C-alpha cells in the first residue's frame, strides 16, 4: 500500500463536526476531479468522478447523497493494457444543479446567464471550511511521497484557476507551496519538510505527519553520521599523506647526509615517526614526551633540511 493511500484513508476517517465540513469536502473533490457526463442508461447529465482509491469514491458518494438529493452509481473499470484499476462514480438526479452551483462548478453573469466558468465556493474564510475544502481537493488529485525516500506533496490540476486559488488558500494559512505547469496540467507542490508536515497537519492527517517527521529525523541522524565519517576519513587521509611526506624527508636526509645531520632532538622525532608511520601528531607527542607543537615544529625543521637537499643547498 502506498503512503498516499494511507494518507487518504486517514483523511477519510477524520471526524466531520459540521454538515458544512462535509459539503465543503465534496466541493473540493468536485472542482478538482469531476466532469460532466451524459448517461445514456439514465438519460440524463451527471457528474462523473474517477479515482484509483475506491474508499475515496464511496466516501464522496455518501457525503454527496447526504447533502443533496442525488442518485449515484459506482462501477469498477479495469484497463488490461495499462494494468490500471479505477473506480468511477456518477452523481445524477434532482440535486445535481444545486451541487454544481454550490461547489462553484457553474457561474452566473450579471444577467443570470449560467456558464461553466469555475469559481471557489463561498465560506472559505472559515478555518474549518477551508480545511475540509483542501482535504477534498487532496483526495481528488493529491499525492505524498513515501517519507523514507524524501519529502514531497503535490496536487495536480486540470485548471490553472483552481491551482492558483488552492495555492493562495494554503499561503494564507502559513503553508507556502510552489506552483508550476507540467505540460497541460498545473501542479501545486511542497518539497520542504516543515511545509509538508504543516500541510498534512492542516488537513488533519496527524499520523502521516508523525511518519514524515520520524523519517526526517532518521535521515538527519544518518546524514550527520555520514558527515562525521567523511570528515574523519578525510582527516585520516590527510594525516597519512603528511606522514608519508615526513618519512620521505627523513629517508632522504639519512641516505644523503647520514644520521649526524640531525640534532638529537630532531633525530628523536625522526626515529619516532619512522617507527610509527600511522601516528597522529598527538600520538607522536605522547610517545616522545613533548608537546604537540614541539613535534610539529621539529618535523618542519626536518622538512626544510630535506628541501635544501633537493635544491642542492645542503653543502
Averaged pLDDT for residues 154-165 = 96
Residue 100 above 60 pLDDT?
yes
When pLDDT is cut at 50, 70 and 90, the band that residue 1 belongs to is low
Identify the CA nearest to 306 among candidates 253, 261, 251, 247. 253
- Which of 68-72, 90-94, 112-116, 255-259 bottoms out in mean pLDDT, i.e. has the lowest? 112-116
How many C-beta neighbours within 10 Å does residue 242 have? 13
In angstroms, the CA 48 to CA 59 distance is 15
Q: State the pLDDT at residue 80.
A: 64
Contact 176/195 with Cβ under 8 angstroms? yes
Q: Cell triple for residue 120?
A: 471557489
Instruction: Choose the weakest-confidence range: 3-7, 28-32, 112-116, 269-273.
Output: 112-116
What secondary structure does DSSP assign to the chain, as a single string?
A: --HHHHHHHHHHHS---SHHHHHHHHHHHHHHHEEEEEETTTTEEEEEEEES-HHHHHHHHHHHHHHS--EEEEEEEEETTTTEEEEEEEEESTTHHHHHHHHTSSEE-TT--EE----PPTTTTSHHHHHHHHHHHHHHHEEE--TTT---EEEEES-HHHHHHHHHHHHHTT---EEEEETTEEEEEE-SHHHHHHHHHHHT-HHHHHHHHHHHHHHHHHHHHHHHHHHHHHHHHHHHHHHHHHHHHHHHHHHHT-GGGS-HHHHHHHHHHHH-TT--HHHHHHHHTS-HHHHHHHHHHHHHHHHHHHTT---
Is residue 18 pLDDT above 90, yes or no? no
Q: Are 31 and 221 in contact (CB under 8 A)?
A: no
Contact 46, 61 (CB under 8 A): no
Q: What digits encode the pLDDT tens for the residues 279-305?
A: 888 888 888 888 888 888 888 888 888
Share of the chain above pLDDT 90, in %: 47
Closest by Cα among 172, 169, 191 to 180: 191
**Average of per-residue pLDDT across 230-237:** 76
Place of cell 447529465: 45
What's the pLDDT at 275? 86
Q: What is the structure's pLDDT at 33?
A: 93
Domain boundaries of the chain, sorted by first residue: 3-216, 232-310
User: Per-residue pLDDT averaged across 114-142, rounded?
Assistant: 92
Mean pLDDT of the chain: 88
Instruction: Provide the pLDDT for residue 172.
Output: 94
| Alpha-carbon distances of 210 from 197, 201, 207, rounded to whole Å | 8, 9, 5
The pLDDT, as a whole number, for residue 32 is 95
State the pLDDT at residue 225.
73
User: Could you identify the residue written with the cell 507556502?
Assistant: 176
Task: Please compute, for residue 23, the number of CA atoms within 13 A of its CA located in the half-sphere on the CB side.
Answer: 19
Confidence (pTM): 0.71
Return the CATH fold of 3-216: Endonuclease I-creI (3.10.28)
Q: Say whether pLDDT at 256 is over 90.
A: no
Out of 14-23, 87-96, 140-149, 210-219, pick the least confident. Answer: 210-219
Amino acid at each position: 500500500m502506498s503512503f498516499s493511500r494511507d494518507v487518504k484513508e486517514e483523511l477519510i476517517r477524520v471526524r466531520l463536526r459540521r454538515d458544512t465540513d462535509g459539503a465543503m469536502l465534496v466541493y473540493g473533490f468536485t472542482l478538482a476531479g469531476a466532469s460532466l457526463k451524459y448517461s445514456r442508461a439514465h438519460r440524463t447529465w451527471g457528474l462523473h468522478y474517477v479515482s484509483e482509491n475506491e474508499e475515496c469514491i464511496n466516501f464522496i458518494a455518501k457525503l454527496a447523497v447526504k447533502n443533496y438529493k442525488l442518485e449515484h452509481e459506482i462501477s469498477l473499470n479495469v484497463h488490461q493494457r495499462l494494468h490500471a484499476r479505477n473506480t468511477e462514480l456518477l452523481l445524477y438526479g434532482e440535486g445535481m444543479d444545486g451541487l454544481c452551483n454550490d461547489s462553484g462548478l457553474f457561474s452566473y453573469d450579471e444577467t443570470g446567464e449560467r456558464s461553466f466558468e469555475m469559481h471557489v465556493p463561498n465560506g472559505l474564510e472559515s478555518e474549518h471550511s477551508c480545511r475540509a475544502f483542501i482535504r477534498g481537493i487532496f483526495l481528488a488529485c493529491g499525492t505524498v511521497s513515501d517519507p523514507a525516500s524524501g519529502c514531497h506533496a503535490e496536487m495536480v490540476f486540470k485548471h490553472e484557476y483552481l491551482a492558483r486559488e488552492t495555492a493562495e488558500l494554503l499561503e494564507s494559512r502559513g503553508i507556502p507551496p510552489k506552483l508550476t505547469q507540467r505540460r497541460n496540467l498545473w501542479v501545486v507542490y511542497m518539497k520542504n519538510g516543515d511545509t509538508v508536515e504543516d500541510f498534512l497537519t492542516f488537513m488533519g492527517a496527524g499520523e502521516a505527519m508523525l511518519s514524515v517527521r520520524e523519517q526526517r529525523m532518521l535521515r538527519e541522524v544518518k546524514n550527520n553520521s555520514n558527515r562525521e565519517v567523511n570528515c574523519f576519513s578525510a582527516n585520516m587521509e590527510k594525516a597519512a599523506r603528511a606522514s608519508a611526506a615526513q618519512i620521505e624527508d627523513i629517508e632522504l636526509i639519512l641516505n644523503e647526509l647520514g644520521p649526524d645531520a640531525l640534532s638529537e632532538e630532531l633525530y628523536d622525532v625522526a626515529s619516532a615517526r619512522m617507527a610509527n608511520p600511522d601516528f597522529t601528531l598527538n600520538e607522536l607527542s605522547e610517545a616522545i614526551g613533548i608537546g604537540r607543537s614541539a613535534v610539529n615544529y621539529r618535523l618542519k625543521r626536518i622538512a626544510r633540511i630535506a628541501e635544501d637537499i633537493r635544491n642542492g643547498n645542503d653543502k
